[in-house]
Structure 1
């Protein structure tokens, strides 16, 4: 029997196979629906690839059509036209077509093969030209998109990293409360590393690990970073057995895993989940309570919440770090929120709707307390909580959101703040109001702040942006 999983099932191809087999037998949708016991409208959605059928229904359809489940799932398109129809349907559902903002073309039996050929040809050429334009930064965005898909698939929860972090905490006897700098240093001692604080750390680094002599070099000028976190990330690379990354994708994955590992040490799973479960039972979940309980940054607490919320609380969620300009710096979701994306599916660098909580919070006078808001979007209503924090690169908002049905577990659910977003509809917030446009269009000439880094290739080297010569000279100068 064919193993049918969500990832393996190609709904468009399967739908076309069902339609071809049905028409070959001269059956109407109504006749097939009677044989398999579902309404014609549901069959129509399946044939059009808009609904994923259960395996049991697929088996009934295969029997009714005189074929097998394996043939429905594995057969090649019946003919050239069927192949074109499938290719066009898939293209129109992909991120490239979505980024164009064009209406969907309905693929019907009345559409001529010549029109199909032309539309598919245009899609192929557009995709080819976009690939030609993809420079190294584009590849980095693709790697980021792939990694975010992996995180979504596992609900941003990595049990093996949790286990390794807990084993290390057990080894130094840490049981409860915030992880102090003293205990953090004990972790380094346990792993055989000595710590050296220096004033000449290479400017492109946050720490340097001498694996030969098992030393970790840090700076007392933390540059806005928690020294515990910097040290734990350095230890994480060692514990997780990371080697020099072969490409940017591997570099990015290593960084995500080390950040996760460090967070699992700062906010251990057992204690953090216990705190969250108590707060959920009291309907008092709040990111700031997590921050305060473990003496970490709000951003670290928000990230950690996304690690544990779905796995242990049954809450789907999303996280955003948005620059005051409205541009997404980091994002994660497994709750279906409609983040803006480019043709590759990348979220980073895209502009968030100005009516979302992560944008509205910048204009809120009270910066001491979290700002909460319900937002009606094209994908449903979401409740979000947000704060702003200043980093070296400017002011950012940090927000965590959940679908409306999960808002009941959070402090701040009683907020009266509400907004409506129609994005990606351009009339929502991407175009100026008609009155403003009428008054100023053609009469304004802004001097833009050029983001020159966007025009440059990704920094070379195994560790992008790090000057290997500078690092090696530094280690040489500190070798006894």
Structure 2
């Protein structure tokens, strides 16, 4: 039985299928050998079905087990009933002192629509509108720990992505634009490219008319098709409006994972990587080229699959030319510089690390390999500068020394020593240099006002709701 089974949604699907077959609880009970009262508990989301009963129910209803376990409510009415039930469980709702509302057949849909809308408005008005930088950094630290515990592999997202790929007849290789448009159609949307998308968003989804609005240009490291698949990922994975910043970040991680799992499918990427490992020729650039994705996506996707399918641990880092870390992951024991909250974002990595050294190499846009000796062992890394219109970022993928034998570039003679972040290394200037200049310099620091500001308010931080609603209004008449 899935650990994340939503009993309320399961009960709604069970009731919907039973009624669609014209069965009473007694009729279904006779077919599966259970009392109607037991089935009623299932339909009301108060009991979890055993696997044997689940199989019997599916057979009696002429449905598949997957159909019964789907996370999507079967109808809009069922979705509303679930939303009302979940709202009434919220302590915020309960603080109103209202009696519990039992939603029967005679309660009209529009009444349920009103209740759900009022609850959402109440929740948004009483929810904390902003998160401080410390809270956001703590949330990111907890999220990274969660990813490490799972070895950055999310089987439920892999399964969802493969289900979509199967539905469009994917056979292998890089996804064509035609197949991506088929995914849009499969998810029940139409796609519209526009030039006047609000500046605060990467895409806008009109749920009322099932339309996706997108720009035909890359946003930083994200291509239009990546943004499109990330957006669809929220709906395929059943995401609701984020409860807080931590939930917002988790949803983004899952949606980004979904996009990568679509563009670099597990079913074809794993045999490709396993064959490369057998030949001792693993390389991020090959994965990038075969699936026509960015180097960053290929490197991060490698971390999704490497521990699960290749029995390799490793790390991933994205940093700018000054060494500031924007994104990182590890399950190989590499120690990142962190602040008091455990967050790594905004910390500066060692100047001797490959992600810094690549910028000083003769050709910064070529693949750069390096061994780095650390106090707790040696790591082999491959770094590449992924250029963008905003700024250049170095993408680094690394593994412990003993695992380098599986990778292309292991014969490199580039080697450095780093004692960061726990020892004396590069955090302080050399003594001779400091002796000549210390006390004789007054640098004018570039402003970092963002470190003092709270995160932008709103359910989706930083999004200008007025701009988005005005944008949709312009296209509502088309």
TM-score normalised by L of structure 1 = 0.71
Q: CA deviation at 1:390?
A: 2.3
State the match for 1:280 in structure 2: 277
Structure 2 Cα separation of the partners of residues 425 and 177 of structure 1: 44
Structure 2 Cα separation of the partners of residues 395 and 197 of structure 1: 27
> Which of 115, 139, 143 does residue 139 from structure 2 map onto?
143
SS of the aligned residue for 1:258 comes to helix
Structure 2 Cα separation of the partners of residues 373 and 315 of structure 1: 18
Q: CA deviation at 1:369?
A: 2.7
Instruction: Find runs of 4+ consecutive structure 1 residues off by over 6 angstroms.
Output: none
State the match for 2:450 in structure 1: 453
The reply on whether 1:344 has 2:337 as its aligned counterpart is: no
Question: For the aligned residues, what is the CA RMSD?
Answer: 1.3
SS of the aligned residue for 1:443 comes to coil
Structure 2 Cα separation of the partners of residues 470 and 242 of structure 1: 23
CA contact (8 A) 1:338 1:379 kept: no
State the match for 2:394 in structure 1: 397
- Which 10-residue stretch deviates more, 251-260 or 434-443? 434-443
Structure 2 Cα separation of the partners of residues 300 and 474 of structure 1: 30
Q: CA deviation at 1:367?
A: 3.0
SS of the aligned residue for 2:456 comes to coil
State the match for 2:258 in structure 1: 261
SS of the aligned residue for 2:262 comes to helix
Q: CA deviation at 1:425?
A: 4.2
Structure 2 Cα separation of the partners of residues 319 and 425 of structure 1: 20
Q: CA deviation at 1:392?
A: 4.1
Q: CA deviation at 1:395?
A: 1.7
State the match for 2:204 in structure 1: 208
- Which 10-residue stretch deviates more, 307-316 or 370-379? 370-379
> Which of 323, 326, 329 does residue 323 from structure 2 map onto?
326
State the match for 1:40 in structure 2: none
- Which 10-residue stretch deviates more, 376-385 or 362-371? 362-371
Gaps of 5+ in 2: 1-129
Post-superposition CA distance 1:102-157 (Å, at most 9, x none): xxxxxxxxxxxxxxxxxxxxxxxxxxxxxxxx971110101101110110001000
Post-superposition CA distance 1:64-115 (Å, at most 9, x none): xxxxxxxxxxxxxxxxxxxxxxxxxxxxxxxxxxxxxxxxxxxxxxxxxxxx
> Which of 367, 377, 381 does residue 380 from structure 1 map onto?
377
CA contact (8 A) 1:357 1:399 kept: yes
State the match for 1:192 in structure 2: 188
Aligned length: 347
Structure 1 Cα separation of the partners of residues 416 and 382 of structure 2: 14
State the match for 2:439 in structure 1: 442
State the match for 2:410 in structure 1: 413
Q: CA deviation at 1:426?
A: 5.3
CA contact (8 A) 1:383 1:401 kept: yes
The reply on whether 1:182 has 2:212 as its aligned counterpart is: no
Gaps of 5+ in 1: 1-133
Q: Counterparts of 1:44-83 in structure 2 under 5 Å?
A: none
